[in-house]
Amino acid sequence: FVIIMFSYSSSKPDDISQAEFLAQKLTEQIKRKRIELQALISNNKKKEQRNKSIHEEKIRLIKTLETIEQENMCRETQLIQDQYRIDEIQLNIQTLNDHIEYLKRDYINEEKKYEQEKYQLVTKFDQTKQLWTNKIKPQYEQSKVYQYLKEAEIKYNNLVRQKECIVHEQKTKKDNYYHKYNKYCSTDELNQLLVQLASVVVNEQQNQKMYEIDEQKLFELKSYHRQLVKIKEEKIAAWEEVFIQPRKTDLMDLILSQQIDLSSQIDITQIQQLFLPDIFNRQQSFVNSISSMEENQVRLLKSPTSNDDALHEINFDESAM
């Protein structure tokens, strides 16, 4: 590079441009080499780290191998001890089997002896039983001792039944006593009874209040009914004054005019003999019918079942007037 720079300083202009070109190339190559060198350095560092990690892993694996070897040695010693124990247990099992065989032989011998003794006892029992049934039992049943024992057994059974009856009666009486005691003397029953009495008193008070309210309503209804009856009577009196009384006067005027006309046309003796009683009877029946109609109308208006109908008739008659 120094030589090139020297040649660059002592050369011509064309040589100067060539030298610059060469210098640029050299700088580029230097940069490239520097980059490659940096890459190599980084790779070397990575390799060193990898080697270091591998070395550490190797050390760790060596330690694990040592621990595994130690564990294997411990396991081998444990296996040896287990084998010793197994051999000892097998020996004990063998001795136990021998002892069991000995016990089985003893058991079989004892069982044979037991069967022989059992057979002898059964035969002896059968003989004694046969002797009892054939000879001793009839004599025993005929003896006074057997009769006395039989009567005593019957009496004892009767006493036991009487005792059971007495115990049952006492138990029922006791249960009834406790039932009555729990019913009349227990606090729970007393509290329930007090609650029932309190509820009855509260219901009676509520019923009394309702009765007073109903009495007040009934009094109000009666006063309202009296007012309605009074209004009806006033309307009936007004209706009679306005509607019925003029009709009565008109009818009386008509009857008088008819009588006057008849008296002017007919002789007085003929009227007295023939027509006068009949005319008076008809007039009287007509007046009676009108009075009965008025009474019926008043009765209907005063009756509680026909209040609305009577009021409707009165209003209709007033509108008609």
Please report the pLDDT score of residue 254 as a whole number: 66
Please report the pLDDT score of residue 144 as a whole number: 72
pTM for the whole structure: 0.24
Residues in the chain with pLDDT values less than 50: 1-13, 268, 270-280, 282-283, 287, 301, 304-321
Q: How many CA atoms lie within 13 A of 72 on its CB side?
A: 6
Q: Are 8 and 19 a contacting pair, CB within 8 Å?
A: yes
- CA 52 to each of CA 44, 46, 196: distance values in angstroms, whole numbers, following the listed order: 12, 10, 97
Please report the pLDDT score of residue 29 as a whole number: 87
Give, as one character, the DSSP assignment of residue 271.
I
pLDDT tens per residue across span 40-80: 888 888 888 888 888 888 889 999 899 898 988 998 889 89
CA atoms of 163 and 160, how far apart (whole Å): 5
